[in-house]
């Protein structure tokens, strides 16, 4: 299983600033821009958690 970078919101839902931090950290970790991002949503459709594989995606 490939390593993954995962972020969750400090509160229940991810904020725009937290999402920007996730993208910044993924770029710094060398995650290819073509890798898909997986997200867990709340029942109201808000982002609770995001995750991306570090390295090439082998889905």
pLDDT tens profile 12-59: 889 999 999 999 999 999 999 999 999 999 889 999 999 999 876 555
Q: Angle at the Cα of 19 (from 58 to 5), degrees rounded to 5?
A: 35
- pTM attached to this predicted model: 0.80
Residue 10's pLDDT band, with cuts at 50, 70 and 90, is confident
Q: Are 5 and 52 in contact (CB under 8 A)?
A: yes
Rounded to 5 degrees, what are φ and ψ at 48? -100, -35
Please give the radius of gyration of the chain, using alpha carbons only, rounded to the nearest integer: 12
């Amino acid at each position: 299983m490939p390593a993954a970078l995962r972020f969750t919101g400090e509160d229940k839902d991810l904020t725009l600033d937290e999402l920007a931090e996730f993208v910044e950290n993924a770029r710094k970790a060398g995650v290819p821009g073509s890798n898909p991002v997986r997200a867990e949503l709340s029942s109201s459709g808000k982002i609770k958690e995001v995750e991306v594989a570090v390295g090439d995606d082998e889905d």
